[in-house]
Every structure is written in structure tokens, then in C-alpha cells.
Structure 1
Amino acid sequence: MKKIFTTEAPEAIGPYSQGVIVNNLFYSSGQIPLTPEGTMIGEGIEEQTHQVFANIKAVLEEAGSSLEDVVKTTVYIKDMNQFSSINDIYGEYFSEHQPARSCVEVARLPKDALVEMEVIALVR
């Protein structure tokens, strides 16, 4: 198992890594809308979702992967009423390549984020 770390995404806020590679698969930890410096970005779902994607892209790149290599995503959202907004932004990043996905509403996310996402991707 190889741990992944990049300064282009926020450090883990607990005893875990940004992601790991096992047998040519990258498993990310959940990414919330923190800047690489660790500051929560914005109060709106749109801005927070774009930051989550920036973080996901950074850890994927460090792992030698990309959004085009993602096979599965899990999206956690604070309010299912924001599903359409999140889905529209999600479609900007996954337009032609559409990995499998789960999306669930949760009672609360770390640092009171509105959205969190994790991915599983191929490493080439």
C-alpha cells in the first residue's frame, strides 16, 4: 500500500491519509471544501462543490491518475434539496466519462461542509 500526499489539497484533519494506492487502484479519503491551506471556502453549495473537485483532482494527479480514470464516486451532501446544483457541477467534471456514483444525504459533515466526495480510480 502506498500513501498519497500533496500540498495541492488540504492535509487530512485526522489520523488518515489523503488517499492510498493498492493494486493499481487509488482510493481517496473524503474531500471537503477546504483550500490547500486548510480554510473552508464559501458558504454556497456551488463554490464548495468546485473546491471539492479541485481537491479531488489534486490527489488524483499526485496518485498518477485523473478524473478520466475514476471508476466510482461517493458524494455526501448535507441537503438533498441541493442535489440539482451539485449534479449540474458534477456534470461539468464528468460529462462524457461517467463513473458509477452513490449520493447520500447526511446529518452533518466535517467542519460543517455542505458536500464531501471520495473516489476510486485506476492508476496507470
Structure 2
Amino acid sequence: MSVERITAAENPTFPHILSHATKVPGLIFLSGQTPVDKEGKVVPGGIQEHTAQCISNLGNVLTAAGSSWEKVVKVNVYLKNMDDFAAMNEIYEKLLPTPKPARTCIQAAKLPNDVIIEIEAIAAV
């Protein structure tokens, strides 16, 4: 089986610890994306702006891998505070195509760089 490492030029890179995604025949496994810009700085705003940035970053990776949000089959959302669930869902519902992929959302005690959200996904090619 061939394994391809995917990097999205629009996202900050961390090649020493991860690939933006790993592509195998038929599937793409996207690493968790946090609400950071190209320079790796957390974008201003609250949960809605941060959710939008995570979705945008994942979209960049999907494009680089030859896929799209329409082919995403599973999403995992990690929230620092589950009280942000409803506000996160407002943006998630607006930005993701219908039908929505399967999803899990959990509260995580601590996320990288103390961000308030991280999102990862699995997509078809």
C-alpha cells in the first residue's frame, strides 16, 4: 500500500512532528487543525472565528490532497469548553456542506498552544 504525506502551502508547517494529512488509497486522514494563520499565530476572536479558521485550514489540506469537504466522512471536534458547543455548531452548520459528515465532539482538558478548539477529519479521495 502506498502512503502519501500531504502538506498545504497555505497552512503553517510542522514537518518535524506531523504531516497535514496522510493519504492512502481511497482515504485521507487529516491532522487536527487549530485556529492559526499561515504564520502559526492564533487568529483573533472567539469560538466562532476560531471554528471558521479550523475549517478553513482543513479545507486547504483537503484541496492539497485532491479532495473537498463534500467527501469528508468523519469529523472530530475537540473543545476546551463544552459551553462553546452551540456557538461552534452555528459556524460548523454554515460552513460545511449538507449532508454533514459523521461527527464526534468532546471537551478536551488542554489543547496545543492553549487554543479553544481543534478539528480533525477523514475524507474520501
TM category (shorter chain) comes to over 0.9
TM-aligned CA deviation for residue 12 of structure 1: 2.7
Cα displacement string for residues 17-55 of structure 1 (whole angstroms, at most 9, x for unaligned residues): 111101220000000001012111114111111110110
- Between the aligned residues of both structures, percent identity stands at 40
Kindly report structure 1 stretches of 4+ aligned residues shifted beyond 3 Å: none
The answer as to whether partners of 2:69 and 2:97 remain within 8 angstroms in 1 is: no
Alignment of 1:35 onto 2:34: no
Match of 2:81 among 67, 76, 79: 79
Unaligned runs of 5+ in 1: none
Q: In structure 1, what is the equivalent of residue 110 of structure 2? A: 108
Unaligned runs of 5+ in 2: none
The answer as to whether partners of 1:10 and 1:55 remain within 8 angstroms in 2 is: no
TM-score (norm 2): 0.93
Any idea what SS the aligned residue of 1:30 has? strand
Q: CA RMSD in A?
A: 1.2
Counterpart residue identity of residue 66, structure 2: G
